[in-house]
Chains A and B, each alone.
Chain A
């Protein structure tokens, strides 16, 4: 929804309740909503379901939420950089669904785009096929992929206007605009908030319609 309310990182964290399906932007802590994550760690909300490319590092990015024991399940692509996540997976304390990274993105995009799923060639004849199931269409076998939605997305952008249009910074863009489409409530931590109309419409990456709350990064 456009016309986002400007709130503090603490107020953003307070929107996250136990068992929340929490989407979090970043690629290895690049493009990470760091202030909101820190506030959420301080708040201590538990039993979170994390949806992310990777849970960053134990001491950097959203990995802090895993290291602090607040995450009980995840849909991710990779966690080679997070020791707490690997330990939690190995001990069975954290339930993890691993996804091919591009398929994870497309599943998130699909939910944001109102699709019921899609047919993918990725992971045929691997464990992915066994876990997801297949469909035959026009003589070809495909993996059936379902959409992934979030209750709340905490994201990072470079600049927002007061209407909620967003621009990003280089590879800090990564999954942030994709997740902006796919959660009921979208909270974006930004470096700068400008007047509506100050961002060239050709430069808007994520249109205002997705943005519910803005947090100014400190």
Chain B
């Protein structure tokens, strides 16, 4: 059994393989922000954060935090050679204008058509929309990073999302702690399973209809 930290890093490590040298990416709060830690040394990406920075570095050493230098999760970050600051309107013009290569978002639910819900649970939890709807509408590639099941053991990979949508039919790849699944015109295709599971368990944990090809890879 993997603990929470190992699970998150398993997902982040697999997602890192989807990034190419020179990609401009927006990485959502949570698991996606762990992705840069897993990039090979020859892959350099440009990270965008919607609060107004294009190209930033790692978390500063303790004591070197700049209160005016944060990411969209209010975490401290650093300038690097090539950093640019922009205002919020321009930051989202970059997003909606299709100038990112991809975005990776967390999810409450994702479905086999690529629709994603991650901004509210009616009557229970309404934190708000944030930048997620703009990111989904504007990014050429939207990847979902999530645990396969919620804390009650319910599948988060559904035939159809039941929560209010963040975006309809925009996710192209779903990476969980159990599987990598591609949204295709014919349905949701199981591409890879985690080293720590098997196809039967993945099927049981998935409410969506899964297309299972002859060759399914593994990741760890």
Contacts and interface: CB of A to CB of B under 8 A. Distances in A.
B133 A100 contact: yes
A174 B88 contact: yes
B134, B166, B167: which has the most chain A beta carbons within 10 Å?
A: B134
A30 B129 contact: no
Nearest to A99: B129
Nearest to A81: B74
Given A28-B70, A53-B88, A174 B127 contact: no
A86 interface: yes
A172 B68 contact: yes
A86 B131 contact: no
A173 B134 contact: no
Nearest to B94: A102
A123 B85 CA distance: 27
B52 A27 contact: yes
B89, B93, B131, B137: which has the most chain A beta carbons within 10 Å?
A: B89
Contacts of A210: none
A103 B88 CA distance: 10
Nearest to B136: A122
Contacts of A169: 68
Given A101-B134, A105-B92, A174 B128 contact: no
B52, B95, B96: which has the most chain A beta carbons within 10 Å?
A: B52
Given A28-B74, A106-B89, A125-B168, A174 B52 contact: yes
A12 interface: no
Contacts of A24: none
A122 B119 CA distance: 14
A29, A102, A106, A170: which has the most chain B beta carbons within 10 Å?
A: A102
- Number of contact residues on B: which range applies? 35 or more
A78 B50 CA distance: 13
Contacts of B68: 30-31, 169-172
A171 B52 contact: yes
A177 interface: yes
Contact of B126 (A30, A89, A168): A89
B82 interface: no
A162 interface: no
A211 B116 CA distance: 42
B161 to A, nearest CB: 11
Contacts of A106: 89, 92
A79 B88 contact: no
A123 to B, nearest CB: 5
B137 A121 contact: yes
A99 B166 CA distance: 12
Given A30-B67, A102-B92, A171-B52, 5 more contacts: A76-B128, A101-B92, A108-B89, A171-B51, A174-B88
Interface of B: 49-53, 66-72, 74, 79, 85-89, 91-93, 95-96, 126-134, 137-138, 164-169
5 contacts: A27-B51, A77-B128, A125-B165, A170-B68, A174-B87
